[in-house]
């Protein structure tokens, strides 16, 4: 993983920092694992804009990712490490011994030609998927299930990882990327290693147009709005806007919006740091 700073031969390249793509080994995706990806542009079925600041963006095709890792005991060879326009992490194309091909989220250090496998009685090596009950304590993990058989939902973005802290009965204690420590059922599956493309956070767009290519339209500051449009709008001259809050009036920056009666609260051992 590396990043490159471009020479400022144009204004848009002056502050541009791009991904080196050292780990990428293929420039064309596997056709059998592609699906169309429709875009709403923030409009509903009547064509009316219901979500602000969405629209445009480059056309994409979805890569079908195997988040469940349910081909247990069948070894697979890493054929390629590829770029995925729909996520920050890189993806790996696996060739299973029975002839099937699947995409998975690539872990940091995963190499082409490496053999990986999922199941309960496998070695805790990078790329292998196994239940939390079989992973050694202290191991760095990613792509974690929250319910058995659901498929990975936590620690999936570039560079993110969690740590298996302890086990007690049918629960395992996991420290998540946010800093939250929570209980997860020990028969949930996780993948060994941190997610690839950890340098993603260092990338700088360099110009506004690059954000438009990602499908994000310009965002209006609430302070610049009128009182009818936002609680922080209005005022004579350049007013500071008072306490930061959302359009619905919910305070921001430190105000806890999580429900005190949420069913999963009992599984949270320690909340994330502010």
pLDDT confidence of residue 274:
66
Q: What is the pTM (predicted TM-score) of this model?
A: 0.92
pLDDT of residue 75: 96
Residue pLDDT tens, the chain, 274 long: 689 999 999 999 999 999 999 999 999 999 999 999 999 999 999 999 999 999 999 999 999 999 999 999 999 999 999 999 999 999 999 999 999 999 999 999 999 999 999 999 899 999 999 999 999 999 999 999 999 999 999 999 999 999 999 999 999 999 999 999 999 999 999 999 999 999 999 999 999 999 999 999 999 999 999 999 999 999 998 888 789 999 999 999 989 889 999 999 999 999 987 6
Query: Residue 154: which of 93, 120, 119, 195 has the closest Cα?
Result: 195
Judge whether 230 and 246 are in contact, CB under 8 Å: no
Where do the domains of the chain lie, and which CATH numbers do they carry? 3-200 (2.40.50.140), 227-274 (4.10.950.10)
Reported for 160-163, long-range contacts at CB under 8 A and 24+ positions apart, including other chains, are: 160/194, 160/195, 161/193, 161/194, 161/195, 162/190, 163/138, 163/139
The pairing of strands 76-82 and 171-175 is unpaired
Which burial class, exposed, middle or buried, applies to 184 when counting CB atoms under 10 A from its CB (0-12, 13-18, 19+)?
A: buried
């Amino acid at each position: 993983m590396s990043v490159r700073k471009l020479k400022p031969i144009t204004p848009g390249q002056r502050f541009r920092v791009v991904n080196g793509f050292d780990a990428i080994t293929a420039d064309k995706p596997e056709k059998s694992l592609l699906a169309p990806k429709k875009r709403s542009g923030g409009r509903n079925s009547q064509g009316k804009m219901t979500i602000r600041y969405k629209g445009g963006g480059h056309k994409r095709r979805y890569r079908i990712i195997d988040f469940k890792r349910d081909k247990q005991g069948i070894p697979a060879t890493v054929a390629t490490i590829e770029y995925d326009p729909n996520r920050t992490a890189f993806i790996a194309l696996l060739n299973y011994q029975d002839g099937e091909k699947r995409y998975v989220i690539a872990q940091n250090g995963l190499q082409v030609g490496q053999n990986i496998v999922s199941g309960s009685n496998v070695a805790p090596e990078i790329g292998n998927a196994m239940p939390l009950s079989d992973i050694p304590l202290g191991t760095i993990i990613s792509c974690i299930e929250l319910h058995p058989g659901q498929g990975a939902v936590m620690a999936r973005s570039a560079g993110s990882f969690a740590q298996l802290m302890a086990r007690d009965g049918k629960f395992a204690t996991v420290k998540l990327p946010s800093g939250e420590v929570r209980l997860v059922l020990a028969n949930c599956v996780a993948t060994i290693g941190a997610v690839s493309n950890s340098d993603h956070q260092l990338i700088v767009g360099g110009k506004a147009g690059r954000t438009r290519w990602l499908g994000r339209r310009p965002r209006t500051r609430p302070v610049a709005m009128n009182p009818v449009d936002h609680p922080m709008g209005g005022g004579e001259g350049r007013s500071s806007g008072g306490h930061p809050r959302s359009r619905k009036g919910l305070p921001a920056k430190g105000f806890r919006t999580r429900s005190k009666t949420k069913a999963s609260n009992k599984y949270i051992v320690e909340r994330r740091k502010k």
